[in-house]
Chain A
Amino acid sequence: MKLAKISLLCALMGAIALPAGAQDLRIALQSDADVLDPDQSRTFVGRIVYASMCDKLVDITPDLKLNPQLATGWEWSPDGKSLTMTLREGVVFHDGTPFNAEAVAANINRSQTLDVSRRKSELKSITGMEVLDPFTIRFDMAAPDATLLAQFADRAGMMVSPTAANAAGADFGLNPVCSGAFKFKERVAQDRIVLEKFPDYWNADQIHFDTVTYLPIPDTTVRLANLQSGDIDMLERLAATDLTQANGDAGVNVESAVSLGYQGITMNVNNGEKGDNPWGNDKRLRQALSLAMDREAINQVVFDGAFASGNQPYPPTSPWYNADHPVPARDVAKAKALLAEAGYPDGIKLEVQVPNTTVPLQLMQVVQAMAAEAGIDITITSKEFATLLADQSAGNYQASQIGWSGRVDPDGNIHQFMTTGGGINDSHYSHPEVDKLLNAARTSTDVATRKESYDAARKILIDELPIVYLYHQTWIWALDSSIKGFTPYPDGMIRLEGVTLEK
């Protein structure tokens, strides 16, 4: 009782001590961001911070079309080997350095040459640049690269101040300087990242907060509790299982968007000795596994129906989804028939490695039960994520439950997984026709032509199934009901243009 009194007293004193006036928006993130340099960054939460701090050459619309940001227009040459961009005038970086074509060239050069850069492969196709006038730049390529614009809509297209970057080198991330709506104020590792409004922002009229504070709160229940108690204003990645609680609170609004990524089971078809097994050698077994799955039931049981079931690297809501191959219905009889045809009428064993966290384990237990009904006896091996990844990359696995966060351009969800020697092709899947089609899709800038190539590749892949796709995560944001104007985007970013807090 005494404790309660003391706490009450302290809480009241704390409330009085709060500063009044400046409007702060507090956003809870699932984890702490890594280094705040777009060229070195690799985390999803890092990209959420950049969405307010670092403008990109292009942005996306909620329906995945490309939208001008720092570039106001662009044009491909007829042979597709050069891209000319017109840049926004009157933009300055947070340190006052003017934004122009020279700054863009310096940025691309930094992304391509800085030793610690993680953007090298994303910009590999650019072989030369020419500044045509202060606000026009041309990028030259050896072969057409349809993915380039989408790369410019993410970290590779984020523009940092060349002055600050030259001065700081690889330490730029300790004090990042970009040209976005908010500038970097301070960071306390694992505690908070604070940005403050940049008064000279080109689109400052649309920004209605003086500061934005990002707080990493890993536990999803605690994140929601913080929102309900008024300690934060918004959170990202609400757990699907917390939806009922959030929806039941009048003070909380929920927004969502199907993500660009996928989750599935990657099969080892040819990666080292372990790839040489019935599951790697006979596609009928993989087809049987896919047919044994009731994807909608998985979604209902594990994710309270909040996610989207899927069978392709892009969600059914994506313009790149091949509607000729809809999410298959469960067919246990056919799965059993395929097993018998492959020589396993009495069933067969499969070992699947899974990250040792709650959701993947629940998912695999449901998959295990469904597969068992078709005669597939799944052994679940749970591993800590870094170990799982190392084993997967080394080919030390039979099947692996893993996913991909997704990219704006379809190429990012498929090329490096399915082409021979692809960087993340842990199945070691190889098919000359698929290679040809996916390479061709990269080099055309015509959407219809690209879609044709992807559809043709899908036809082969849906039969071969080196990855059995299961579902697509939905980004779920929970917001204080006084926040207005928030737009959910499939890339999971939080864009603050037009967002207001009316308290």
Chain B
Amino acid sequence: MLSFILRRLLIAIPTIILISVFVFALQKLLPGDPVLAMAGEERDPDVLEFLREKYRLNDPVPVQYFTWIGNALRGDLGISLRTNQPVTELIASKLPVTIQLATMAIIFALVIGIPVGIISSVKKGTVTDYVANTVALSGLSIPNFWLGIMLILLFSVRWKLLPASGYVPLSEDPVKSITTMLMPAFVLGTALAATLMRHTRSAMLGVLKSDYVRTARAKGLRERSVVLKHAFRNALTPIVTLTALLFGELIAGAVLTEQIFTIPGFGKLVVDAVFNRDYAVVQGIVLVTAVGFIFMNLIADVLYVLLNPRLRGQ
């Protein structure tokens, strides 16, 4: 097991290097001058030149890359061109916010997606199945921003039940923190729930047709035990992978939801950074996201092995 994890970690290194080069190059290809974005309306030529010098934007691109990656290896991702705060500090303060949001969204998705998926596979072809599929499809097709604004208008403006937007750290006030996060997590969770539901359904359908399930039924086991204990455990492998990947995606992909609900998380940080050409922040975020994604993949692989004994020998 240990050698398996080590091997996976070694493979990750070239991937991360490639990603860092890619991000850096992509940033340089972006049209628009970061200095113009930073200098403000006045665009004083002296200020422009000073900023170019200060942020070493006059250096050749490879030199800029190696300076950045060299510092990054020492844990220094530079400072934000916009607020002067260290990028590592910014990311460290935003990451828990997005992780909380992503975790709550995943919980929503799992709690809704998996049971509905199981039910609709068991009741395949019935009205229940069709209703579940229709709901899933609408979950996938309703845009986040629309659902978000509707929920705000309903729960905050009309019923005044939940705060309209914002963020309270868990450490400061856990209850308020969770209530503030309910709507955004739900919005983010619904689309995932739909995806999970569809995958659970198809995985379950495959498994329910297999011989050992028929054997289990023939043994006279109760249907409940056949479905949950025998079939579901085997259908779980693809669902675990999917959940891990979705979680990774959430960390980076909560952009719209964070924007609507004004959650000071990772997504909002990256959007603001891109628009302000805050290179250091964008690069830092992408790097951290990539590493996070690779890590989530690794966890999925390990869980695979735990779930499926047949993989342990390989």
Contacts and interface: CB of A to CB of B under 8 A. Distances in A.
B272 A32 contact: yes
B176 A191 contact: no
A225 B157 contact: yes
A219 B39 CA distance: 25
B83 A17 contact: no
B262 A121 contact: no
Interface string A1-45: 001100110110110010000000000000110110000101100
B43 A219 contact: no
Nearest to B44: A121
B: interface residue count bin: 35 or more
A203 interface: no
Contact of B179 (A10, A191, A216): A10
Given A17-B173, A35-B84, A115-B50, A7 B155 contact: yes
A390 B31 CA distance: 8
Given A384-B32, A386-B37, A34 B44 contact: no
Contact of A7 (B94, B173, B179): B179
Interface stretch (B67-75, B118-126, B159-167): B159-167
A105 B161 CA distance: 53
Nearest to B85: A189
Nearest to B33: A390
A423 interface: yes
Contacts of B85: 174, 189
Contacts of A404: 41
Nearest to B262: A217
Contact of B167 (A121, A191, A222, A385): A191
Interface string A191-202: 100000000000
Nearest to B163: A231
Contacts of A222: 149, 152, 164-165, 260-262
Nearest to A426: B43
A405 interface: yes
Contact of A386 (B42, B175, B179, B275): B275
Nearest to B90: A189
Nearest to B182: A7
Interface in A375-405: 383-391, 393, 404-405
A31 B264 CA distance: 12
Given A190-B272, A423-B43, A17 B262 contact: no
A116 interface: yes
Nearest to B156: A229
Contacts of A305: none
Interface in B229-275: 259-262, 264, 268-269, 272, 275
A345 interface: no
Nearest to B183: A7
A118 B160 contact: no
A389 to B, nearest CB: 5
A215 B180 CA distance: 15
Contacts of A391: 31
A215 B153 CA distance: 19
Contacts of A416: 42
A222 B46 CA distance: 39
Nearest to A232: B164
Contact of A14 (B46, B175, B259): B175
Given A174-B85, A229-B163, A387-B31, A189 B42 contact: no
Contacts of A115: 50, 54
A350 to B, nearest CB: 22
Nearest to A404: B41
A217 B33 CA distance: 26
A118 B157 contact: no
A8 B161 contact: yes
A480 B261 CA distance: 20
A438 B3 CA distance: 76
Nearest to A191: B264
Chain A's interface size range is 35 or more
A173 B178 contact: no
B162 A386 contact: no
B193 to A, nearest CB: 13
Contacts of A388: 32
Interface string A405-439: 10000000000100000011000000000000000
Nearest to A40: B84
A190 B262 CA distance: 8
A34 B275 CA distance: 13
A229 B47 contact: no
Contacts of A384: 31-32, 275
Contact of B160 (A34, A230, A385): A230
Nearest to B152: A225
A351 interface: no
A255 interface: no
Contact of A120 (B44, B94, B153): B44
Contact of B262 (A215, A387, A423): A215
B93 A189 contact: yes
Interface in B2-51: 31-34, 36-47, 50
A171 B85 CA distance: 9
A218 interface: yes
A170 interface: yes
A190 B161 contact: no
Contacts of B90: 189
B277 interface: yes
A218 B37 CA distance: 18
Contact of B166 (A8, A118, A231): A231
A26 B260 CA distance: 18
A46 to B, nearest CB: 10
Contacts of B45: 423
A7 B162 contact: yes
A423 B42 CA distance: 7
Interface string B220-233: 00000000000000
A405 B43 CA distance: 13
B259 A219 contact: yes
A390 B173 CA distance: 45
A208 to B, nearest CB: 24
Nearest to B46: A120
Contacts of B272: 31-32, 190
B32 A386 contact: yes
Given A174-B85, A189-B90, A222-B262, A17 B46 contact: no
B24 to A, nearest CB: 18
Contacts of B260: 219, 222
Contacts of B175: 10, 13-14, 17
Interface in B140-192: 149, 152-153, 155-157, 160-167, 173, 175-176, 178-179, 182, 186
Nearest to B34: A386
Nearest to B155: A7
Interface of A: 3-4, 7-8, 10-11, 13-14, 17, 31-32, 34-35, 40, 42-43, 115-116, 118, 120-121, 170-171, 173-174, 188-191, 215-219, 221-222, 225-226, 228-231, 383-391, 393, 404-405, 416, 423-424
11 contacts: A17-B173, A118-B47, A120-B46, A170-B84, A189-B93, A189-B269, A190-B268, A219-B260, A219-B262, A225-B156, A384-B275
Question: Which 5 residue pairs of A and B lie closest in terms of their CB atoms, listed nearest first?
Answer: A42-B40, A386-B32, A191-B264, A229-B156, A190-B264
